Amino acid sequence: MSRRNNFTTGRIYSDVLRKERRGDYLGATVQVIPHITNAIKERVLEGGEGHDVVLVEIGGTVGDIESLPFLEAIRQLAVDIGREHALFMHLTLVPYLAAAGEVKTKPTQHSVKELLSIGIQPDILILSFRSRGSCQRACKNCIVL
């Protein structure tokens, strides 16, 4: 792996500002869409050169303003390459509340709803349980899309 395989929000914004100062945008107003999202897509594609599969991890919480440009970029990328060539996985914590003696699925339901609202339908949900017990059928039915 090289430095092309990892990038941050700060690096993306720095690169876009550098291009703007160089005149690459021909005096146009720099905007999150399309300039930032295009820069993210370019970095993803550069990091994947010569590989059959590219795995993109977007950290943070779905719905936080900081992650929105990244989520929009991967949504656009799936359209660009064809939805049949993209797979969205969503990792989410399903917390166990000992006082109530139950797992809480509402945060997972909410984050999936947020993804759907921005045009991303998770193909795979990975549920992370922090309790010793397993998720019962009722819990799974609460999360089913």
Q: Which CATH number fits domain 1-85: 2.40.10.10, 3.40.50.410, 3.20.20.70, 3.40.50.300?
A: 3.40.50.300
**Closest by Cα among 35, 38, 65, 50 to 5:** 50
Q: Which residues of 24-45 are buried (b: 16+ CB within 10 A; e: fewer)?
A: eeeeeeeeeeebbbebbbebbe
Identify the pLDDT of residue 98.
81
Q: What is the pLDDT of residue 103?
A: 83
pLDDT tens for each residue of 8-26: 999 999 999 999 999 999 9
For the chain, the structural domain boundaries read: 1-85, 87-145
Residue 52 has pLDDT above 70, yes or no: yes
Question: Which residues, listed in sequence order, are joined to residue 90 by a DSSP beta bridge?
Answer: 125
Q: Which is higher by pLDDT, 109 or 96?
A: 109
As a whole number, mean pLDDT of residues 34-47 equals 96
Q: What is the pLDDT of residue 130?
A: 72
> What spatial distance separates the first Cα and last Cα of the chain, rounded to whole Å?
36
Q: List, for residues 124-133, the tens digit of each pLDDT value.
A: 999 888 766 6
Long-range contacts of 137-141 (CB under 8 A, 24+ apart): 139/94, 139/103, 139/105
Structure pTM?
0.87
Q: Which residue has the higher pLDDT, 133 or 85?
A: 85
Q: Does residue 104 carry a pLDDT above 60? A: yes
Quick one: average pLDDT of 31-53? 94
pLDDT at residue 140, rounded to an integer: 67
Average pLDDT, the chain: 89
113/105 Cα distance (integer angstroms): 12
